[in-house]
Amino acid sequence: MIINFEQLKRECAPFGVELDAEMCERFDIYAATLIEWNKVMNLTGITEPEGIVTRHFADSLSFFGAVSPKNGDSLIDVGSGAGFPGLALKIVRPDMNITLLDGTNKRINFLKETASRMGLDVNAVHSRAEEAAVKPEHREKYDFATARAVAALNLLAEYCFGFVKVGGKLVAMKGPSVDAECNDAKAAIKLMGGEICDIMSLSLADGSERCIVTADKIKPTQTGYPRVSAKIAKKPL
């Protein structure tokens, strides 16, 4: 056993997450695989089991403190990296249809291998967000889009809203202070067809402060968005 199951259960409880034995075992496999693969590729700077539980697993599962997906809802994790939060969410909600999107193929291979070891079915897609979001198989197909520590909110709005159905939500997992960032992103979110509906502040067990920004998709995203990455970087909304 790599991680402390009691620590994991205790730190996830504030977000309404109850873990059974099978879920704990899968998180243990996840932690072991992360540590193993991190020796040969850069997945995380956090490799101590206690840190993995708090800064990766509990942090990812704070998602459920902000929103309550229905059975069978679809979610895309944009810039999934080592699978946070998307793969962690799948452990707790295997009924959800979860897509892990990342632009680095080595990370996609890690996600596929980890999901396989855990006996979970996920769709791991190697693509840049701005390219995938305009493809018919992804365009406005998801109930939720989420991203953790990927980009400023105005950039995230352009990268992510093209994936979200009207009536769905963007759930942005951010750092401790987001008021200025939210204010700067209002125009971009509106242009993409969204509207901020909630900002939830929370603390992790180690004292780290987090905010989760939830924005509703109220109308379709205009054709032409997201733009190519060079234009997004050169002239952010």
At 34-78, the pLDDT tens digits run 999 999 999 999 999 999 999 999 999 999 999 999 999 999 999
Confidence at residue 15, expressed as pLDDT on a 0 to 100 scale: 97
State the pTM of this model.
0.97
Confidence at residue 99, expressed as pLDDT on a 0 to 100 scale: 98
Confidence at residue 177, expressed as pLDDT on a 0 to 100 scale: 82
- CA 185-190-192 angle, to 5 degrees, is 95
Confidence at residue 149, expressed as pLDDT on a 0 to 100 scale: 75
Handedness of CA 70, 76, 77, 82 (dihedral sign): positive
Residues with pLDDT less than 50, the chain = none
**DSSP H/E element including 157:** helix 153-160
Confidence at residue 33, expressed as pLDDT on a 0 to 100 scale: 98
CATH of domain 69-234: 3.40.50.150
Q: Where are the domains of the chain?
A: 69-234
Q: How far apart are the first and last CA of the chain?
A: 47
